[in-house]
Structure 1
Amino acid sequence: MKRIYILLFSLALASCGKSEKNTETAIEQVTSNNTITITQSQFESEKMELGTLSEQSFNETIKTNGFIDVPPQNRASVSTFLGGYVKRTPLLIGDKVKKGQLVVILENTEFVEVQQEYLEVTEQLNYLKTEFERQQTLYNEKITSQKNFLKAESTYKSSLAQYNGLRKKLKMMNINPTSVEQGNISSTINIYTPIQGYVTKVNVSNGTYVSPSETIIEIVNTDHIHLELTVFEKDILKIKKGQVIHFKIPEASNKVYKAEVHLVGTSVNEKDRTVKVHGHLEDDEKTNFVTGMFAEAEIISSTKKTLALPKEAITEVDGDYFVLVLKNKNEGVYTFDTLKLEVGKQSEEFVEVTNISDLKGKEILTKGGFMLLN
């Protein structure tokens, strides 16, 4: 009985050794002949697919970068015509404001002096006007001299100019001249926002003295944001209005957004030899970008159509690219030749093939080749 078990064990070992030897021989043969053979069941179980060269579009792109910005008319730096101390500022960074909303209240004795001067000139003007009209009548009737008439005329018109100037100054200070004429003198002035938007900077606090050259608050209206890109001089002649821009905000997400070239700068920055390109965003109302965000962009300067293969059909080995070309199909057996490719441009899904003549009219394994070639 023991002899029978030993015999069976020996036969099993011999069978395994023969099988391994046959497998090694088959692999050596595949390598030497540069062909791979699979069965119909293997083809179907691995969900392999055959295909041919297809015409695809490849873009010529110019890589650049820039930032999210708004037009000049959508940005306002609020300041004052006359210096003063901040009495109250109700806004914080991020607050949404409407056009004409109160930004800050300033207080200064100089505001009182302007109103007093206006009142004095207003009172004098009534008398000077009356005197001018009287002298004009007397002069016309040749009762008074021309010298007296001209003097009255000069004094009146000089005071009138001063009156109009002070009146305009009060309006710029947001003080109603009519109210001042009624005796209402205020030591404070109100400053309002000229646009609607969001507060991006607040440079003051209660008690701070603000001079006319200082920015009190900055407001940005993000209803129309755009891309402000910087393109090198060597690429600028390739860029035209209407070209498509693909961009992303690398610090925020990997999502790719779309824009369009709207304006191309007409001067070169002497320091870095670059030109500004202005792009309009697609569906900018649906985005929530913040001005100043850094953007990486590609401008599509041209598009060409050429024959290509799906990336899934191509396997890269040591820097070379290969595909499996169907040699023949006979009795449920597929035989493929391994062909080296010469490739050109690449997109997200396709690779341009430059040695087209080697693949024209031939079927190619477009799915499952990676497993076989590796």
Structure 2
Amino acid sequence: MQRIINKYTFIILLLVLASCGEKESTSLDSQTSDTHRNDDRIFVSTAQFENSNMTLGKLIQQPFPITVKTTGMIDVPPENRAVVNATMGGYIKSTPLLIGDKVRKGQVLVSIENPDFVKIQQEYLEVKEQMTYLRVEYERHQTMMDENITSQKSFLKAESSYKTINARYTGLRKQLQMLNISPSNVEAGTIVSVVNIYAPISGSITKVNVTRGTYVSPATAILEIIDNDHLHLELSVFEKDILKLQKGQKINFKIPESSNETFLADVHLIGTTIEDNRTIKVHGHINNEKEIHFLTGMFVEAGIVIDSASAKALPETAVANMDNENYVLILDETTNAGYYFTQVEVEIGQQLNQYIEIVTDSKFNDETNFLIKGAFNLVGESGSHDH
């Protein structure tokens, strides 16, 4: 009988132990589940929060401009751009300048050689001599005509010959001046086969299209010079937005390929004709252009301010960009050990004065706390419980 009792007691102990094992397993599973839940958040210890000068904050109302979005480029006025051509064709004798070199108005740019230059100078001298003779003849016939010694026909012939040669002389003299050949030097017997081309404006060389020995015609663009002393914005605004624009409106613009900084300009002129692509040109004057190193031809993204509106925003330090998506960290729980944050994707709007508009603000309420300083280094660390 005692053996039977001991047997049943043993069985009962086994059942109790099994039951305890299941409870312990369930408890462990529960702890594991709770740990997994916490791992979806980002934990920051109190010490780390304080040592990194992290800050909490809430959404605030900020004024943001209502803008007409447009694109364009940095450009210069037409009078600040010059394409250098040759008056007559010839072979490039020398090209001492390179792209980027600065030149002053009147400086020698290139020299050109052509035997035809010599022919023009010879013709000029011959015509000048003929003109001297024909002028004397014309004056003699005029005197004789006044004294009724010669016929009117002879006088008119002498007059016509003189005026014709005088026209040729004047034309050849002008050609020499256009070729930068001094008529006075030619008359003094100095004949040249090489002429210089001079800079029509001061500025920087932006294009060099020839090398030594290249033959150029009058249609050939030899060099381009741009004077960057006055730069402006040349924007293209779609037809549907043009009635919203007025002279004097502010322009916020960026050079996306070079900088994230926002620059300022003002609407100076609004075009009066519509281009083939249904856009209108808007000319903007850049503020503080002397202090910023803009280059002609830079691509511009701009917003022309037509009004202002209030929107909820956060400091730009509260928003982190990862893989072209924007995230914020909201405070989920505070404990003695530290802070738990949840990473939330948001859609952002405009950026102004170090604030970013939060378009998806309906996800949050007025009491939502954000990590507004230090979020950048933490985004993407969700799933890591210890830092």
AA of the residue aligned to 2:143: T
Question: Does the aligned pair in 2 maintain the 1:311–1:351 contact within 8 Å?
Answer: no
Match of 1:14 in 2: none
- 1:168 pairs with 2:171: no
Q: Secondary structure of the equivalent of 2:118?
A: helix
The separation in 1 between residues aligned to 2:103 and 2:372, in whole angstroms, is 61
Question: Does the aligned pair in 1 maintain the 2:106–2:198 contact within 8 Å?
Answer: yes
AA of the residue aligned to 2:263: Y
Q: Secondary structure of the equivalent of 2:170?
A: helix
The separation in 2 between residues aligned to 1:240 and 1:298, in whole angstroms, is 13
Question: Does the aligned pair in 1 maintain the 2:88–2:218 contact within 8 Å?
Answer: yes
The separation in 2 between residues aligned to 1:48 and 1:161, in whole angstroms, is 86
Deviation by residue 1:20-41 (Cα, 9 ceiling, x = unmatched): 9xxx9xxxxxxxxxxxxxxxxx
Match of 2:3 in 1: none
- Tell me by how many angstroms 1:308 deviates: 5.3
Which consecutive segments of 4 or more residues in structure 1 shift more than 2 A? Answer: 46-51, 53-58, 306-312, 343-355, 363-371
Match of 2:296 in 1: 291
Q: Please give the residue correspondences for 1:211-360 in structure 2 after superposition, counting only pairs within 5 Å.
A: 211-270=217-276, 272-304=277-309, 306=310, 348-349=355-356
The separation in 1 between residues aligned to 2:140 and 2:313, in whole angstroms, is 99
- Tell me by how many angstroms 1:353 deviates: 12
Q: Secondary structure of the equivalent of 1:152?
A: helix
Could you state the TM-score of these two structures normalised by the residue count of structure 2?
0.69
CA RMSD, Structure 1 to Structure 2 (Å): 3.8
Unmatched segments (≥5 aa) in structure 1: 1-16, 25-45, 316-320, 325-342
The separation in 2 between residues aligned to 1:276 and 1:223, in whole angstroms, is 22
The separation in 2 between residues aligned to 1:211 and 1:73, in whole angstroms, is 24
The separation in 1 between residues aligned to 2:237 and 2:230, in whole angstroms, is 22
Does the C-alpha gap of structure 1 residues 88 and 369 become closer, same or farther in structure 2, counting only changes over 3 Å? closer
Match of 1:195 in 2: 201
The separation in 2 between residues aligned to 1:155 and 1:177, in whole angstroms, is 23
The separation in 1 between residues aligned to 2:296 and 2:227, in whole angstroms, is 10
The separation in 1 between residues aligned to 2:170 and 2:372, in whole angstroms, is 87
Match of 2:214 in 1: 208
Identity %: 52
- 1:87 pairs with 2:93: yes
AA of the residue aligned to 1:283: N
Question: Does the aligned pair in 1 maintain the 2:348–2:357 contact within 8 Å?
Answer: no
Match of 2:10 in 1: none
Deviation by residue 1:253-287 (Cα, 9 ceiling, x = unmatched): 211111111111111112x2111111111111112
Match of 2:138 in 1: 132
Match of 2:110 in 1: 104
The separation in 1 between residues aligned to 2:168 and 2:259, in whole angstroms, is 60
Q: Secondary structure of the equivalent of 2:130?
A: helix
Of 68, 71, 83, the match for 1:62 = 68
Match of 2:122 in 1: 116
AA of the residue aligned to 1:227: L
Unmatched segments (≥5 aa) in structure 2: 1-26, 35-52, 320-327, 332-346, 376-387
Question: Does the aligned pair in 1 maintain the 2:209–2:222 contact within 8 Å?
Answer: yes
Question: Does the aligned pair in 2 maintain the 1:71–1:225 contact within 8 Å?
Answer: yes
The separation in 2 between residues aligned to 1:71 and 1:226, in whole angstroms, is 8
Question: Does the aligned pair in 2 maintain the 1:307–1:353 contact within 8 Å?
Answer: no
Q: Secondary structure of the equivalent of 2:109?
A: strand
Does the C-alpha gap of structure 1 residues 49 and 276 become closer, same or farther in structure 2, counting only changes over 3 Å? same
Question: Does the aligned pair in 1 maintain the 2:265–2:287 contact within 8 Å?
Answer: yes
Question: Does the aligned pair in 1 maintain the 2:64–2:311 contact within 8 Å?
Answer: no
Question: Does the aligned pair in 1 maintain the 2:315–2:372 contact within 8 Å?
Answer: no
- Tell me by how many angstroms 1:344 deviates: 12
Match of 2:19 in 1: none
Does the C-alpha gap of structure 1 residues 301 and 369 become closer, same or farther in structure 2, counting only changes over 3 Å? closer
The separation in 1 between residues aligned to 2:156 and 2:182, in whole angstroms, is 33
The separation in 2 between residues aligned to 1:169 and 1:236, in whole angstroms, is 48
Does the C-alpha gap of structure 1 residues 309 and 203 become closer, same or farther in structure 2, counting only changes over 3 Å? closer
AA of the residue aligned to 1:84: G
Does the C-alpha gap of structure 1 residues 241 and 208 become closer, same or farther in structure 2, counting only changes over 3 Å? same
Question: Does the aligned pair in 2 maintain the 1:344–1:354 contact within 8 Å?
Answer: no
Q: Secondary structure of the equivalent of 1:144?
A: coil
Deviation by residue 1:171-195 (Cα, 9 ceiling, x = unmatched): 0000110110111110111100100
Q: Secondary structure of the equivalent of 1:127?
A: helix
Deviation by residue 1:279-324 (Cα, 9 ceiling, x = unmatched): 11111111212211111111111124x5857579x99xxxxx9x99
- Tell me by how many angstroms 1:63 deviates: 1.4
Deviation by residue 1:89-117 (Cα, 9 ceiling, x = unmatched): 11111111010110111011110011011
Does the C-alpha gap of structure 1 residues 289 and 208 become closer, same or farther in structure 2, counting only changes over 3 Å? same
Q: Secondary structure of the equivalent of 1:161?
A: helix
AA of the residue aligned to 2:172: L
Deviation by residue 1:104-145 (Cα, 9 ceiling, x = unmatched): 110111100110110001111111111111111111000111
The separation in 2 between residues aligned to 1:275 and 1:74, in whole angstroms, is 22
- Tell me by how many angstroms 1:235 deviates: 1.2
- Tell me by how many angstroms 1:48 deviates: 8.6
